[in-house]
A and B are shown apart, each in its own frame.
Chain A
Amino acid sequence: MKIRGSQTKRWVISIVAGAVASTLAIAPSQAIPVRSEVGVSATEIVLGMQLPQTGPASPGYNKIDDAMRAYFDFVNSKGGVNGRKIKLVVKDDTYKAGLTISTASTLINKDKVFAMVGSVGTQTHISIIKDINRRGIPDLFVNSGYSGFYIDPKKYPTSFAALGTYVVESKIEAEYLKANYAKELAAGKVGVLYQTDDFGRNVLAGFKQQGVTFPPANTQKFVAGSQALGLTRQVQALQAAGVTLVVIAAVANATAITIGTAAKLGFAPKWLVTSVGSDATTFKTILASQGTSGAVASALLTGVISASHAPSPGEDTDEFVIAFKKINDDFNVGPDKTWDNNVLQGMNIGYLTTAALQGAGKDLTRKGLIAFMEGKGATLSSAALSPLSYSSKTHEAYNSFWIGAYDANSVLKPIGGTRVLYTTDSAAGPITVSTYKRPAIAADALPKVG
């Protein structure tokens, strides 16, 4: 009875306050009711994030938080969301789950965050996902394609993805291979190099789902993190097996090592790189600092096939890319703000977060935010060319990918000139062509929800 009473009261207050706020639009911040939700005040929303900012797993990913913060600062400069400024508290877990658990406790108990947003890493996030969910803390836009987090919302009701799952992407890539490289597949000329973790295994599972398997001689692997020992042996084995197309399921630096090593060995197969490892900036930075000239690095990347749910960061006519790039130039204060996939991804999460907070309304609660994500999250748009698939049945994000190849300017371009989006799920569902059209970005580069 007590609870119901307070809810009613809250409801009345918010209606009254809403009315007052709309009439007194000059001073909205004072009119917003003082609420008791953790991490939300009349003037501020505190969000938490964890990622490897230092350590072996940090390169590249450590730019995502700076991009997100840049977008939030941009939003704040425009008055915030419903008068509340967004504050992002970031914790470095060095990609070690033992530390992730500690930093999560800091974010939850000390910084009293309202929600977690954009956290990076599968192995690390898995160590806290149960606890976050048990506490009912929204766990938005997790930067991991591990489908186990999202496909059973009863298990993890508050966790929502920021990426398409590894399985969705690799199913679509497998289908592309079947359509365009049937001869090579039949002749056993297609090989794979994968890292032996959830990511690598999920990619293999996605290919298998579509009936694409790799002969043992064409299957090479490495322990994630041990690429420092070199991948020469693996690449030589693929070369010796005579494959003409190699699928790479590895992080960006290992992908760069693989393609660079193959070049040294005089091995020039067609490459298909999954989106995780397909980052032109990382690729060219590593090769350039190895003394490979920009022209040679570009030549190596040219023709590499990859998939994406978003525009390529190099597509400088894309309206989202233009807007995000400008915000990055104006607001990013991180140590390295070079425009690339990671920055685009961070900006996009910032944009989606802002949209979700708008959608959850002035009376911002954790429950309300999750209800909005499940009910209307699929209607949100972003820089991505794929629709979102959030519902009460799944918390996966992007279900569509387009297949492209890098051109001479290191921009991923649709193969054949026209961009075709393919849609599927993380299970046994069919692959279909999507007709989704991305809504345009507003002139002020802010989402418009609610």
Chain B
Amino acid sequence: MDKYKNIWRKNLIKTLTLGVFLFLLSFTFEPYNQGQLALVLMLFIGVLSLTVLTGASGQISLGQGALMAVGGYSSASLITHLGASIWIGFLVAFFATAIFGLILGTAAARVSGPYLAGTTLVIALALPSVANRFESVLGGDVGLIVDFGTPPTWISNLIEVGYEQWQLWVVLPVALTALFFISNLMATRAGRSWQAVRDDEIGAAVSGIPVARTKVIVFVVSSAIAGLGGALYGLRGLVGPSVYPVSLSLTLLTAAILGGVGSISGAFIGTLIVVFLPDLIDWAISGLAVSEQLSNYLPALLTGFLLLATIIINPAGVMGAGHRKKH
């Protein structure tokens, strides 16, 4: 027990340090980079959900974006129709997506490898069409307009907070909570037993771990985290089918792979790469006579190459080497 308490304390210190660092850093940023950092943190939560799934079950999902949509829609419909606060929205998104993950996990626990990848891809495609079926509640094709709102007066009286800065201030504690939750989970007994199931199902069953139930629980946790990320992601302006397309799921996967599958710090680095890649490309080709045709497709092209290069050179991703040593 003491060992876990130590891990718990260490993670708390790590998380708080990161939080204070990012909070202070945000003051030196222009609004643009404040917004970008907020986006990084939102997507990071989404990538974390994939890290949980991959790290704990060795499975890849191409449908995390759809789970984010579940979170986004459940929080946005509460906010829009019942006037709930965004914080209530986060809570509900977390639990609603957890329930959804329970249903999905029960079905998907029997599916693995490329089957799961393909199935989750179909989920990512099919789920947004539900919004069209329940137009009055979910807003149909147009979606539900929501946003982060403005800071409460006790903050805005104290200090002037820009729109992007407020975004960041809302996202930061939520992302840190998710990070703290996940890093503890992966380190404690539950996480260990998940990895045992991942590495050797039969062995795990022999040592008394309920394999089927464990797999479902991994799905539930992963879904709940994705839903939380999705609720935040929707608050950028809109919850609608075109906010959570299949390509969002692929972006999350790309970030997870680039950073290193199953690694939490890798998830963060991967998300940074994915978010800032278009800026990097803009910067790199500024001044060069690049045709519009080429510059339009350059981000997609480079992302593809990066993904391939990572898989071929070091499938464990940027953080892969360190990650491997630990085990």
Contact = CB atoms under 8 A, between A and B. Distances in A.
Direct interface between A and B, CB < 8 A: yes
A7 interface: no
Interface in B227-243: 233, 236-238, 240-243
Nearest to B43: A98
Given A197-B141, A198-B142, A106 B236 contact: no
A: interface residue count bin: 35 or more
B32 interface: yes
Nearest to A57: B242
Contacts of A126: 142-143, 145, 238, 240
Nearest to B246: A96
A224 interface: yes
A101 interface: yes
Given A197-B141, A198-B140, A127 B240 contact: yes
B143 A105 contact: no
25 contacts: A53-B296, A54-B296, A54-B300, A66-B292, A94-B247, A96-B243, A96-B247, A97-B237, A98-B243, A98-B248, A105-B32, A106-B32, A110-B32, A124-B242, A126-B145, A127-B145, A127-B242, A130-B237, A146-B142, A196-B132, A196-B141, A198-B141, A201-B140, A223-B132, A224-B141
A95 interface: yes
A124 B244 CA distance: 12
A440 to B, nearest CB: 34
A223 B126 CA distance: 12
Interface residues of B, number: 35
B201 interface: no
B30 interface: yes
Contacts of A124: 242
Given A101-B236, A123-B241, 12 more contacts: A53-B292, A96-B247, A97-B143, A97-B238, A105-B32, A105-B164, A106-B32, A109-B164, A126-B145, A131-B163, A196-B140, A335-B293
The 4 closest A-B pairs by CB, nearest first: A109-B32, A127-B238, A197-B141, A97-B242
Contacts of B163: 131, 134-135
Contacts of B297: 54
A105 B35 contact: yes
A361 interface: no
A170 interface: no
Interface in A183-224: 196-198, 201, 223-224
B264 to A, nearest CB: 24
Given A96-B247, A105-B35, A109-B32, A131 B141 contact: no
Nearest to B35: A105
Contacts of B243: 96-98, 127
A250 to B, nearest CB: 14
Contacts of A97: 143, 237-238, 240, 242-243
Contacts of B233: 98
Given A196-B132, A197-B141, A131 B242 contact: no
B304 interface: no
Interface in A125-156: 126-128, 130-131, 134-135, 146, 148
Interface in B277-315: 279, 291-293, 296-297, 300
A98 B296 contact: no
Contacts of A96: 242-243, 245, 247-248
A360 B106 CA distance: 62
A106 B129 CA distance: 30
Contacts of B36: 105
B31 interface: yes
A96 B141 CA distance: 12
A220 to B, nearest CB: 16
A124 B164 CA distance: 20
Contacts of A53: 292, 296
A334 interface: yes
Contacts of B248: 96, 98
Given A92-B296, A105-B35, A223-B129, A123 B237 contact: no
Nearest to A226: B129
Contact of A130 (B145, B164, B296): B145
A346 to B, nearest CB: 14
A224 B245 CA distance: 14
A122 interface: yes
- Counting chain A CB atoms within 10 Å of each CB, the highest count among B32, B36, B164, B238 belongs to B238
A285 interface: no
B39 interface: yes
A58 to B, nearest CB: 9
Nearest to B150: A134
Given A98-B248, A105-B164, A223-B129, A335 B291 contact: yes
Contacts of B293: 335
A127 B147 CA distance: 10
A130 B147 contact: yes
Interface string B11-40: 000000000000000000011100110010
- Counting chain B CB atoms within 10 Å of each CB, the highest count among A98, A101, A106, A198 belongs to A98
Interface in B117-174: 129, 132, 140-143, 145, 147, 163-164
B142 A122 contact: yes
Interface string B194-213: 00000000000000000000
Interface string A317-361: 000000000000000001100000000000000000000000000
A102 interface: yes
Nearest to A102: B39
Contacts of B247: 94, 96
Contacts of A148: 142
B237 A127 contact: yes
Given A54-B296, A128-B237, A98 B141 contact: no
Interface in A58-103: 66, 92, 94-98, 101-102
A170 B39 CA distance: 40
B292 A334 contact: yes
Contacts of B236: 98, 101, 127
Interface in A404-446: none
Contacts of B141: 123, 196-198, 224
A98 B242 contact: yes
A109 B35 contact: yes
A135 B236 CA distance: 15
